[in-house]
Amino acid sequence: MVGISTRAMMLRLMIPPGSFILHLGAMYKMNQYDYPVLVVGGSDRSRRFHLVALFVISQETQPVVQAALLVLRRQFYWITHKHLLLRYAMDDCDQAECNALAAVFGDNPSYRFLMCFFHVVKKVQVAIKPFSSGAAATVLREVYDLHFVRSLVSYLEMLRAVLKLWLGEPGACDVPLTAVSTPSGMLWEWLVMPQGLSNAPATFNRLVTQLFRPHQAYAQTYFDDIVVHSRAEHGKSDVESHVGHLRAVLECMHISKLNGNLDKCVFGAEEIPFLGYFIGKRDLRADPATVKAIVEWPVPKNQKDLR
């Protein structure tokens, strides 16, 4: 990591914490080696941006970004003999940057993280790309309305109305948004997750993970696979515990309107295949079918075979 700043640039942060917003962003086109460059600056109430520091980093991960921010904070104290207090910080909602900012400046009780509205709109436009022009315009208009409300009360009222529309009954809201028109003039609507949506597998996996989080002590999920494991506890045998866990998982699926394929289900087994492994009561072993080629590979007998 290489940091670049000056005393004059650091002194730009010598203003009340509530009068500026610290901006953090990574650029990838500022050097010929494609190393990310972390840009740190502040904007005042007149919306002018003031550059504070540049950091050439190896990768955009939380430990690296956090180390850069710690250097910034230490240098500010070394120059001014005052702690850098931060009330507002803004970036493009990158997970590494967000967590690093919270770790370094989150000790201030009044610290608030702000998401760059440009990146909000950019991500919304990617998500609504398959929508019809009318539905896409409606979503964007409501996002803008939420952003420019004048008070917290108005925001909460508008958010409640928007969520009621967006998260309503499937037949009344999300199905019409996925309608597509064919060259013959027919209009078709998806009753399952449509093709072409942004991050559809990740969205489905997040839904399943959230639904079964209350059961994570005995049920693990990965996309459409659910593993339920039980052991004897609380005076119950392992079979009795397993029946109770299965009932809880199936009830969760029933309430959430998730269907299971009975032909692919295995119940009451001491060992099951899962993600290329056999998970058993006593051990974990690789699936023989996946390692068959390695096991049957001929033993090299000379230097040519070894290569």
Question: What does the pLDDT average to over 50-54?
Answer: 93
Question: Using one digit for the tens of pLDDT, what is the confidence trace for 198-212?
Answer: 677 887 888 899 999
Choose the weakest-confidence range: 28-32, 63-67, 91-95, 98-102: 28-32
CA distance 223 to 201: 8
- Indicate if the pLDDT at residue 169 is higher than 50: no
Both structure tokens of 212: 């079964």
Q: What's the average model confidence in pLDDT over 50-72?
A: 91
Q: Are 104 and 40 in contact (CB under 8 A)?
A: no
* Percent of the chain at pLDDT exceeding 90: 21
End-to-end CA, the chain: 38
Residues 6+ apart with CB under 8 A from 205: 221, 222, 223
Instruction: Report d(CA 268, CA 37) in Å as an integer.
Output: 54
Report residue 172's pLDDT band, with 50, 70 and 90 as the boundaries: very low
CA distance 131 to 141: 14
Which pLDDT value is given to residue 179? 67
Is beta strand 187-188 parallel, antiparallel or unpaired with respect to 219-222?
Answer: unpaired
Dist. CA 142–CA 145, nearest whole Å: 5
**Token pair recorded at residue 187:** 């209009």
Q: Are the C-beta atoms of 98 and 113 separated by less than 8 Å?
A: yes
φ and ψ at 30, to 5 degrees? -100, 0
Model pLDDT, residue 39:
92
Residue 9 to residue 31: CA distance in whole angstroms: 21
Specify the pLDDT at position 176: 63
The CATH class that applies to domain 2-115 reads alpha beta
pLDDT at 30: 65
Give me the mean pLDDT over the 140-154 stretch. Answer: 86
> Could you state, in order of their start, the residue ranges of all structural domains in the chain?
2-115, 119-181, 200-266, 269-307
**Integer Cα distance of 267 and 270 in angstroms:** 9
Give the span between the Cα atoms of 53 and 11, in whole angstroms: 11
* Sheet hosting strand 271-274, strand order edge to edge: 271-274, 277-280, 284-286
Query: With bands split at pLDDT 50, 70 and 90, how would you rate the model's confidence at 35?
Result: confident
Place of tokens 């997040």: 206
Strand partners, 226: 221
- Residue 282 in this model has a pLDDT that exceeds 90: no
Residue 170 has pLDDT above 70, yes or no: no
Regarding pTM above 0.75, the answer is no
CA 125 to chain centre: 17
